[in-house]
Amino acid sequence: MATIAFQGKPINTSGELPKVDEQAPDFSLVNGRLKNVSLANYKGKRKILSIVPSLDTPTCAASTRIFNQKASSLENTVVLIVSADLPFAQGRFCEAEGLKDVIPLSTFRSNFAETYGVKIIDSILAGLTTRAIIIIDESDKVIYTELVAEVVDEPDYESALAVIS
């Protein structure tokens, strides 16, 4: 379990992020066509997992826009935006915002949040994913992690992107 904060108050997650230099756990997430996708769908590519509570919040929306902007210049890299939002809502958000360089994936029908240690287990946010960045290389090894200490804060984009530039 990890302790983070929501508006200055401590809250807890279901576990710990995967460790750098370890193989990333496989996952099953739901895409906009209601199909399950896993690490194998992105075989041979670097994967940036931008994990957010909900795209329907200002900070999550801002970080998704920033990653969309940065993703267009990254070679052999996919940016996966992971949230507890339903795939329909994720799709509407990305369409309304004109975001075409990120791939929204839902934890709907998935144990991803528990496996990756990002499920919030208490507070009014219980059941959502906390804000985190996990970068996985072409061989599915974790090369970077950041668990954002305060849920309402944005991640450290520069440090995250520095590991793949």
Helices 87-97, 58-71: inter-axial angle, 10-degree rounding: 60
Nearest one of 44, 38, 22 to 134, comparing CA atoms: 22
Catalytic residue among 24, 52, 60, 160: 60
Our CA dihedral for 39, 126, 146, 74, rounded to 10 degrees, sits at 50
Q: CA-to-CA distance for 88 and 93, rounded, in angstroms?
A: 9
The tokens 């992020």 sit on which residue? 17
What amino acid is encoded at 144 in this protein?
Answer: Y
- The per-residue b/e assignment along 41-55, b for 16 or more CB within 10 angstroms, e otherwise, is bbeebbbbbbbbbbb
Active-site residue, 60 included: yes
Give the residue numbers annotated as catalytic, written as ranges: 60
